[in-house]
Chain A
Amino acid sequence: MNFMASKQPENSLLGLESDSQRTLYVTCLISIELGSSLDVRYPYVTGTSVVALKYKDGILMAADMGGSYGSTLRYKSVERMKPIGKHSLLGASGEISDFQEILRYLDELILYDNMWDDGNSLGPKEVHNYLTRVMYNRRNKFNPLWNSLVLGGVKNGQKYLGTVSMIGVNFEDNHVATGFGNHLARPVLRQEWHENLSFEDGVRLLEKCMRVLLYRDRSAVNKLQIAKITEDGVTISQPYSLKTYWEFSAFENPAQGAIGSW
């Protein structure tokens, strides 16, 4: 420590000793460099998990319709899956208004793409990569779009399914989920997913995931949509509910087995 101090006299002059003080110092430096105070923004209305998987003819995606204001279940009919152009389907969890802004970006993108009128069109891979750039760019401005996005699509017989997080982490997979779905739905999908899922089996598998989420994710609501995208285009189901059974003994007094201070 003494050796370090002797090598960095400016730090010892400021009397910076602990890590937390140093962090504060660095934070101030960043604020000065950006020419404004570093205000951290938090999401207001949020949606919870999106779950999606590849099946025989394309992609299936599920999301419930809840919009939470903090921990209050504030809205019950938020559509969190939208078609993007001819070949893509976007699902979002996280800040709803940020999702709406992303939809505006994509509307413009698809419009300008169509205006070329040359037979070329952006496929799911292109849209996914574009979103990755947008998300990462915004996080680099310390002002992320507070969403986890799932992008699925089919173009030229090629199925595509990928995800982007609010800080730009992105990947492709045969099945993806956001938020709580990562913990509760992915294990189910890993066990039961296979390449040749029929439409019916795919929907059943998604409903199984959504039911697990409904039971264990307190922000999930029992009103959901399932969207399908194939070579023929996008169809999004009407909202519907899952059958539930709450009479399990473990549900009756959930705090019983929990060791807590309350």
Chain B
Amino acid sequence: MFRNQYDTDVTTWSPAGRLFQVEYAMEAVKQGSAAIGLRSKTHVVLGCVNKANSELSSHQKKIFKVDDHIGVAIAGLTADGRVLSRYMRNECINYSFTYESPLPVGRLVVQLADKAQVCTQRSWKRPYGVGLLVAGLDESGAHLYYNCPSGNYFEYQAFAIGSRSQAAKTYLERRFENFTDSSRDDLVKDAIMAIRETLQGETLKSSICTIAVVGVGEPFHVLDQGTVQQIIDTFETAAEQEDPATEPDAATGQEAAAEQGTAADQGGSTDEGAAPMDI
């Protein structure tokens, strides 16, 4: 049988110097629905695509407020994401209890990365199957970090994770040089555009995406659906005059479900019977 000898537990090296279990965990991030983030000097915007697991269910929350100055967007195993955001909330509240000031974002990210790293070095543990985009504001300005299941972390100007995130990354790479001086509203617009790139054909509606903002004088908060729809309408009507949002909901629902099937195929390797990673 073709079996990988080196992936039975996290701590086993392959002769090529790889840790397969860790790589599988990173694969779980790629299978999750997309999350993107971008920042200017003063603001950070997070966005994500909401995918329902089945037609009968609602979608899961992918953006969490950690504190007034920090929020996260996740891709991968939502359950792991919730555990980690609870940890982050705890760290923030403990810090502000002791020092009466907000925890610097960079420190929280390092603590989070250290927590993830431990799971790659203990045979009785498993890595977290979730990637986190951490948006935050502190004394040194606005920050956007990506935390990986491997325990690595990176700071970005703009980034995207999850299924079909490459399309969003391409969009962001084309435009990131202007982000530093972007206004908050332009940043939100770019976030929505980047999310649209990951949809591939499916029409962009406020019901399938969530946008959150943190910035100077603006505590982390998720934009309400009406606001997002308004922003979508401004450039959607400008771009095309087809028939915006007139199709009945059921039809789009089915379309979305069909799209999800193909999404899973493209995002990774699952076929219908396998455990769905696309949460």
* In the complex, B106 has a CB within 8 A of chain A: yes
A262 CA to B98 CA, complexed, in Å? 51
List chain B residues, Cβ under 8 A from A122.
99
A110 CA to B111 CA, complexed, in Å? 18
CB distance from A238 to the nearest CB of B (A): 34
* In the complex, B101 has a CB within 8 A of chain A: yes
A-B pairs with beta carbons under 8 A, tally: 30
Could you mark each residue 110-152 of chain B with 1 if its beta carbon is under 8 Å from any beta carbon of chain A, else 0? 1000000000000000000000000000111000000000000
Q: Is the CB of B107 within 8 A of A116?
A: yes
Q: Is the CB of A118 within 8 A of B107?
A: yes
List chain B residues, Cβ under 8 A from A116.
107, 110
A130's partner among B99, B106, B138, B140 (CB-CB below 8 A) is: B99
* B99, B110, B138 pick with most chain A CB within 10 angstroms: B99
Q: Is the CB of B97 within 8 A of A120?
A: no
Q: Is the CB of A125 within 8 A of B104?
A: no
A129 and B100 in contact, given A116-B107, A118-B107, A120-B107 (Cβ under 8 angstroms): yes
A129 and B99 in contact, given A116-B107, A118-B107, A120-B104 (Cβ under 8 angstroms): yes
Q: Is the CB of B101 within 8 A of A120?
A: no
28 A–B contacts, CB within 8 A, in A order = A116-B107, A116-B110, A118-B104, A118-B106, A118-B107, A118-B110, A119-B140, A120-B104, A120-B106, A120-B107, A120-B138, A120-B139, A120-B140, A122-B99, A123-B101, A125-B100, A125-B101, A126-B99, A126-B100, A126-B101, A129-B98, A129-B99, A129-B100, A129-B101, A130-B99, A133-B97, A133-B98, A156-B139
List chain B residues, Cβ under 8 A from A125.
99-101
Please report which residues of chain B, range 88-102, place their CB below 8 angstroms from some CB of chain A when the two chains form the complex: 97-101
A125 CA to B101 CA, complexed, in Å? 8
A116 CA to B107 CA, complexed, in Å? 8
A130 CA to B99 CA, complexed, in Å? 5
CB distance from B162 to the nearest CB of A (A): 28
CB distance from B69 to the nearest CB of A (A): 13
Could you mark each residue 148-190 of chain A with 1 if its beta carbon is under 8 Å from any beta carbon of chain B, else 0? 0000000010000000000000000000000000000000000
List chain B residues, Cβ under 8 A from A133.
97-98
CB distance from A200 to the nearest CB of B (A): 33
Could you mark each residue 6-34 of chain B with 1 if its beta carbon is under 8 Å from any beta carbon of chain A, else 0? 00000000000000000000000000000
